[in-house]
Structure 1
């Protein structure tokens, strides 16, 4: 990532987080005369114990020196969670992670991962790499989402598919929440792999092609493993409710398992069983 791009990302993140804080939450009057959403820069600077000028320069994306101690204070002032704090550190301190070759061939998955996919019979599961390319899935995922085998491997990017394929938009009732969860994961990779120019090219392309992506990306949400409830309206199975759990796979290559677990109090698992049996029978 070029220095200018990194500093622009840092600026956008700080502005977004500052705008999220309600003045009354820290004992300040909301006031009708506030022209900015959230806190003012001078208020963040005061909370962090730094000068307003220095914080303004930081938020403007100027190339200035920062320390871990000061970033800790800013993180506290902006009420950042651990994932957001790590992202701030990645951008502000220009932490670079060694980039290994990314494989996106389903056959390259380890035998243990293939076994896990097979065992999660009625939990749709997708495995993605650090670019959010889909590198593995189980039959349940193909039944609920779409048959990824029919999509050329180079086009199996989950973020791209979420915006381009009508199957996903019509499937997820809370599509916006669904997408933002994966974008939050994607942003953690973006900050972690500063040396990988692929991210900037992808973000520019998606922003130009999909206004919704551009708007969601501006929100600067960060989460390594968001957990959420997803409601699907499946064309053949009807209403289905899943809990989404995202797990990082330890190893040489950054892989992630996104597991959709049927919610116990619903008939989702039975619907999935019938769907898989019906479709298998049709074939």
Structure 2
């Protein structure tokens, strides 16, 4: 991401967040006048943040020089940004030294001890994500649940490519759009933290070229972090499962995250997951990315 790209992203991010709000959301009266574009006007946002219209307009045009932390916090509050969105805004306005110039490492390595830990988790599907959402390591239960990633070349073991380009992975997620939006938002968050990473830039470019849905989700400028929550899956061998996932950052590399999955004890989902994990990789389904897939071709699933 060049300085020009960063200014453009700052402009679009502020504009799209402003478009999500109504005057009542920030305590302003709405006189019912017809609006040419959705959301708050710039002058309304500036009023809510306690800054001049010209100051906010200057910032929304991508000019972030000399913006104070206090003003940035006031604007983030007026826009009702989440903690993740606040972090992303700060990355755009006040990039860290690494984000400003130092490229990310070309490859990430998983410590052998972490893989040993994954292998020891014989009843819990788990894997480790890297900064580009590459899948760096996993255990047999994860392969049973999500597919045999070992059959893929390393560059294809990536959640962005799997979610948007693999029909088998798409069919696994009952709420595919929710998962796809989350993946897109996480990639955008990584892009803000690592703007000079050529591999991440190439991945985003590839997905933009090959998936209409990715282009649409990317244009929404949502940012996410992998965290925790419920997920509904449809496995070809055991049917529907309700699982919950938890995310744990690894202490020696903040860009690596261990993700685990579990079910509520005593449920049909728990029995199905036990069955899958007992089968191990024998339960893993083929999982290949189809190079011909685009958003138009898969949109009806």
TM-score, structure 1 as length reference: 0.89
Where 2:143 maps in the other structure, the secondary structure is helix
Question: Kindly tell me: are residues 237 and 197 of structure 1, through their superposed partners in 2, closer, same or farther at Cα, counting changes over 3 Å?
Answer: same
Post-superposition offset of 1:52: 1.3
Structure 2 gaps of 5+ residues are 285-301
Where 1:112 maps in the other structure, the secondary structure is helix
Post-superposition offset of 1:253: 6.5
Where 1:136 maps in the other structure, the secondary structure is strand
Post-superposition offset of 1:280: 6.2
Where 1:254 maps in the other structure, the secondary structure is strand
Post-superposition offset of 1:174: 0.5
Alignment coverage as a number of residue pairs: 280
1:196-215 correspondence to structure 2 within 5 Å:
196-215=197-216
Question: Kindly tell me: are residues 121 and 32 of structure 1, through their superposed partners in 2, closer, same or farther at Cα, counting changes over 3 Å?
Answer: farther
Q: Indicate the larger mover: 11-20 or 119-128.
A: 119-128
1:25-40 correspondence to structure 2 within 5 Å:
25-30=25-30, 31=32, 33-40=34-41
Deviation per residue, 1:185-222 (Å, 9 max, x gap):
22222111233233333222211211111111122222
Question: Kindly tell me: are residues 173 and 102 of structure 1, through their superposed partners in 2, closer, same or farther at Cα, counting changes over 3 Å?
Answer: same
1:49-198 correspondence to structure 2 within 5 Å:
49-62=50-63, 64-97=65-98, 98-104=102-108, 108-198=109-199
Where 2:72 maps in the other structure, the secondary structure is helix
Question: Kindly tell me: are residues 89 and 279 of structure 1, through their superposed partners in 2, closer, same or farther at Cα, counting changes over 3 Å?
Answer: closer
Where 1:195 maps in the other structure, the secondary structure is coil
Question: Kindly tell me: are residues 111 and 53 of structure 1, through their superposed partners in 2, closer, same or farther at Cα, counting changes over 3 Å?
Answer: same
Structure 1 gaps of 5+ residues are none
Post-superposition offset of 1:102: 4.4
Q: Indicate the larger mover: 199-208 or 171-180.
A: 199-208
Where 2:132 maps in the other structure, the secondary structure is coil
Post-superposition offset of 1:27: 2.7
Question: Kindly tell me: are residues 200 and 114 of structure 1, through their superposed partners in 2, closer, same or farther at Cα, counting changes over 3 Å?
Answer: closer
Provide the alpha-carbon RMSD of the alignment: 2.3
Q: Indicate the larger mover: 179-188 or 5-14.
A: 179-188
Runs of 4+ in 1 over 3 A off after TM superposition: 62-65, 276-283
